Structure 1
């Protein structure tokens, strides 16, 4: 197997020799070898204080990490949404760039793989609230508010809220290729404990590049929020959800995540079930409002459905020890996990590098973490699949034969 560094050099040489047009359109998916080679890991602080991580990789390979201010127990901060960019695969980072202020971070940062635009979602205050979209046409350097963006209500007449959702995606496979899709949620009229049983996750999707957004059918289970979506190689959509509240008398384990699937490009969701292996945050934090925001990404490996999931892996009530789980069969089993942060930590967001760019072969995790408190700062970890494979076996499935170690 060629060394990972040599593979990157060869890819860049091919792009340069092929002309500028191809260099602007790197391959969307490549081989598993890009994520292999010698195990590699590094982490450093990217943001000070505050919360709400989202991370994406622009079409040119620029890594864009977003962060949002939270003050005084969810009061609106004046700094709004900010991003930092890395043009060298996450090795070095530029200064803070303001996306919008004052506002709440809407999560769901989304790269349009047809145009190269990046969309960020903002809300005027803690939702329910006025919401809007900001767009970057230069890989996150500058941002402008979209004046005519429309988010349509769902079949119940509810317009979903955006915030606390994992990054969005561009569909690549099947008849809905090119569609923008991201998780969203409805708060049941307001974010309070009385409304928890009425809340539900959903998704919004756009077929016109992010100007008009339709709302999907609700996630099949109530009490859900803070979702994440990933497209598999056959075009199906996998939805992974936090659940804040279970129905009274429920037989389900409130410490585990929920899953559902779409076979129509994110219009409807079916086969909802509790995942038997993935934790929904700290395992003993199981009262109303329990669970924890999680990261999710499918690695851009052609013909393979390698999914990564991140969340706390704590046997106590404390949010700590953010860990990454790996599935090689599209969420059927999760045979490997590895801890990324040893200590207080909470929300996290996952993404992966693009073949043919400086980000190729890297996996990116942006998380809330600290030495003494889980919301101290924002840290960026980058690593490869080889590093994850040196982790702990979960007993849920086995590694595939096609995976060279």
Structure 2
């Protein structure tokens, strides 16, 4: 069923750094044009180098992809964009494939068809125009969420609606061909079958602990199929398989009714983090954890930053992703802009970033202005053409691909507006995490200046801000010096997510000195550097005594404290290489 005809990524919208030499892509991309001819055009950026620090972004307004569709990436790096309906055949299930990281895409390829259910015997009707019966599509099981078995390479797609059927479409050749296979689905402890439909995030393969290799996928249960207000009794859960997708078990219910569409990730210590929409109450997203690879849940709480919606009454399906790293828990979350009025709800899809496993979300960026709605997010595979890319798809906003350098780069344009937690709207009933909170953590970046927005410096002792003018300092306009050079003084910044293992300082110590201290999130001293002396330093590497290295603390929240002595001046702290580059 493979289709070898490929079309170039049409309707490109790109943003590049102001120092780049490229312009925008010129001319109209033709359906039969080769990738080589596109690459030869002035302005073609192509795939960024792996670990590139240059921002990369593009968006494809992919018409005709259907109402719902999850995103997955095969083990060979092929990006898979699934869809259902959207054409003359409302029961068609299809996908498009990209073998070059998203630069070009195959034509629409049919996987299969919806499966008609015996809704009378299942008790999920009647389809009489009342309640859920308003939509006859619920009488069919169709495209559900997807999961890639990272041990076998097999790609699986559930078949479900309000009620699942015991079948999956499976591919063993990276999505080229598909076969409908029967599976076993077990009910949960309340006697209901799960619904891992396409409004959930893609499944994962467990990498840690005694259940290593388990397949785990987000799902939910909707017991009151006949009632318009049935969301009050719905609940999130998960399904898991320990035999490579042949048999699926249901987790215990999420410990809060009124929840539903959700996503989950495995943190670096093996803990499962689940993040869910609530359709029955106002407020933010609800969070819980699992210590047994998705079988039971603990520590239920409402997130104090991630807004569930808009509108602030019914919520919205969101995307959730953990970056594939062994040294830290960087999570990304995609959702519509919560600050828009209700008549514009579900527009302006943004991506939030957390550098501490979902505890705080200090940065977000607009993906595309305009209609958005439900969103899905995934990432490329290491060692393949997709490596380094993050992919976000929304029902009405198209498909975007970008890298972390773009996500964390400030941009004054409407498409790509940069905001920190103190500016991000949240639920009206919850406290905001901003610079006035001890929980606030600045995201990793290449440069932290003494005077910037959001502020880097939290407090000072015997130090004052001074204006400077030095062409060597790359537009840095302010620094700190001591008020009384005969006494010691300190500059204390906000917590940061430590960006890399080599810290550099821009300063002019003259005949004075500067030392740097590293403190843990609670303010406990970790280590103090060797003194920096000897005049002007453009990028002076901070040296640590006794063989101490920063690598253990990279991508974790820390506080850096600067001690100034004599007539030293401090201008900036820099990291030439960030931990994901």
Alignment of 1:282-301 (within 5 A): 282=310, 285-287=311-313, 290-301=314-325
Question: In structure 1, what is the equivalent of residue 379 of structure 2?
Answer: 352
1:367 to 379, 385, 394: 394
2:106 to 91, 94, 98: 94
2:308 to 256, 272, 280: 280
Question: In structure 1, what is the equivalent of residue 442 of structure 2?
Answer: 398
Alignment of 1:187-198 (within 5 A): 187-190=222-225, 192-198=227-233
Question: Post-superposition shift, 1:41?
Answer: 0.2
1:319 to 338, 342, 346: 346
Give yes or no for the alignment of 1:260 onto 2:299: no
RMSD over equivalenced CA pairs, Å: 1.9
Q: TM-score, normalised by structure 2?
A: 0.57
Alignment of 1:99-114 (within 5 A): 99-103=111-115, 104-114=141-151
Unpaired segments ≥5 residues, structure 2: 1-48, 116-140, 410-417, 423-432, 434-440, 444-496, 501-576
Question: Post-superposition shift, 1:156?
Answer: 1.1
Q: Which moved more, 1:186-195 or 1:359-368?
A: 186-195
Distance 1:191 1:184 in 2: 20
Q: Which moved more, 1:217-226 or 1:192-201?
A: 192-201
Deviations 1:159-197 (A, max 9, x none): 111212111111112221111000111101316433211
Q: Which moved more, 1:49-58 or 1:259-268?
A: 49-58
Give the number of aligned pairs.
Answer: 347
In structure 2, the CA distance between the partners of 1:216 and 1:237, relative to structure 1 (3 Å rule), is same
Question: In structure 2, what is the equivalent of residue 153 of structure 1?
Answer: 187
The 8 Å contact of residues 285 and 306 in structure 2, kept in 1 or not, is answered as yes
Question: Post-superposition shift, 1:199?
Answer: 0.5
Question: Post-superposition shift, 1:393?
Answer: 1.4
Secondary structure of the equivalent of 1:51?
coil
Question: In structure 1, what is the equivalent of residue 327 of structure 2?
Answer: 303
Distance 1:213 1:309 in 2: 27
Secondary structure of the equivalent of 1:301?
coil
Q: Which moved more, 1:195-204 or 1:104-113?
A: 104-113
Unpaired segments ≥5 residues, structure 1: 1-32, 247-253, 371-378
Secondary structure of the equivalent of 1:386?
helix
Question: In structure 1, what is the equivalent of residue 399 of structure 2?
Answer: 380
Question: In structure 2, what is the equivalent of residue 58 of structure 1?
Answer: 74
The 8 Å contact of residues 221 and 236 in structure 2, kept in 1 or not, is answered as yes
Question: In structure 2, what is the equivalent of residue 228 of structure 1?
Answer: 263
The 8 Å contact of residues 52 and 105 in structure 1, kept in 2 or not, is answered as no
Q: TM-score, normalised by structure 1?
A: 0.82
Alignment of 1:193-232 (within 5 A): 193-232=228-267
Deviations 1:15-57 (A, max 9, x none): xxxxxxxxxxxxxxxxxx9455100000113341631131111
Alignment of 1:330-341 (within 5 A): 330-341=357-368
Question: Post-superposition shift, 1:106?
Answer: 4.0
The higher radius of gyration belongs to 2
Deviations 1:296-345 (A, max 9, x none): 11111221101100000132221100000001111011111000010111
Secondary structure of the equivalent of 1:341?
strand
Give yes or no for the alignment of 1:243 onto 2:278: yes
Could you say which structure has the greater relative contact order, defined with CA pairs below 8 angstroms and 6 or more residues apart? 1
